[in-house]
């Protein structure tokens, strides 16, 4: 699997910003088929940093109501990547 397919996008939420500032942990939406080793290698190659650990979780899709009718949000996978001391990722915000 290509490293550009593994890491889909960084997540920018209040919880992810707090984790980034206090624990050097970055949150990403990743491919559902990717494992922790592939995620670690992809982050190290893309951002040229040293990764200490990777935690993953599957976020189940939920039904939502819209004015056009019911809608199902897709199921996705989230990865929390903890970096070694002194390493940072510049995400542009």
Paired sense of beta strands 63-66 and 51-59, if any: unpaired
Q: What is the Cα–Cα distance from 71 to 62, expressed in whole angstroms?
A: 9
Domain annotation for the chain: domains and CATH numbers: 3-83 (3.30.70.330)
Both tokens assigned to 54? 């990777």
Q: What is the Cα–Cα distance from 76 to 92, expressed in whole angstroms?
A: 24
Contact of 16 with 26, CB cutoff 8 Å: yes
Q: Is the pTM of this model over 0.75?
A: yes
- The predicted-structure confidence for 20-68, as pLDDT tens digits, reads as follows 999 999 999 999 999 999 999 999 999 999 999 999 999 999 999 999 9
Question: What strands, in cross-sheet order, belong to the sheet with 7-10?
Answer: 7-10, 25-30, 76-83, 51-59
């Amino acid at each position: 699997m290509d490293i550009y397919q593994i890491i889909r996008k960084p997540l920018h939420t209040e919880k992810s910003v707090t984790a980034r500032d206090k624990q050097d942990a970055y949150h990403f939406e990743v491919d559902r088929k990717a494992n922790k080793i592939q995620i670690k290698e992809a982050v190290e190659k893309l951002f040229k940093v040293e990764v200490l650990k990777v935690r993953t979780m599957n976020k189940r899709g939920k039904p939502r109501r819209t004015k056009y009718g019911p809608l199902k949000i897709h199921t996705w996978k989230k990865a929390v990547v903890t970096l070694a001391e002194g390493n940072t990722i510049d995400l542009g915000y």
